[in-house]
Amino acid sequence: MKILALESSAIACSVALTEDEELIAQAFQNNGLTHSVTLMPLCEDMLKNCGVALDEVDVIAVAAGPGSFTGLRIGVSAAKGLGWALDRPCAKVSTLEAMAWNLSTLPGDICPVMDARRSQVYNSRFSSDGEKLVRLTADRAISLEELGEEIKNRDREQILVGDGAQLCYNQFNRLGLPVRLPAPNLRFQSAWGVARGALELARAGQLMSAAQLVPEYHRLSQAERERLEKMQTQKTESMEGV
CA–CA separation, 188 vs 172, rounded Å?
19
User: DSSP assignment of 14-47, as one string?
Assistant: EEEEEETTEEEEEEEE-S---HHHHHHHHHHHHH
Alpha helical stretches, state H, the chain? 35-49, 69-86, 95-101, 144-154, 165-174, 191-203, 222-240
The pLDDT of residue 139 is above 90: yes
Q: pLDDT over 70 for what percent of the chain?
A: 90
Encode 2-12: b = buried (16+ Cβ within 10 Å), e = exposed: ebbbbbbbbeb
Rounded mean pLDDT of the chain? Answer: 91
CA–CA separation, 18 vs 67, rounded Å?
23
pLDDT score at 194: 98
Say yes or no: do domains 2-95+190-222 and 103-186 share a fold.
yes
User: Architecture of 2-95+190-222 per CATH?
Assistant: 2-Layer Sandwich (3.30)
The pLDDT of residue 61 is above 80: yes
108 HSE (CA, 13 A, CB side): 17
Residue 22's pLDDT band (boundaries 50, 70, 90)? very high
Give the residue-averaged pLDDT of 72-80.
Answer: 97
pLDDT score at 234: 55
Q: pLDDT over 90 for what percent of the chain?
A: 80
Q: Which fold has domain 103-186?
A: Nucleotidyltransferase; domain 5 (3.30.420)
pLDDT score at 32: 74
Residue 219's pLDDT band (boundaries 50, 70, 90)? low
pLDDT digits (tens, 9 = 90+) for 162-189: 999 999 999 999 999 999 999 988 888 9
What backbone phi and psi angles, to 5 degrees, belong to 204?
Answer: -90, 0
Residue 155's pLDDT band (boundaries 50, 70, 90)? confident
Residue 232's pLDDT band (boundaries 50, 70, 90)? low
Residue ranges per structural domain of the chain: 2-95+190-222, 103-186
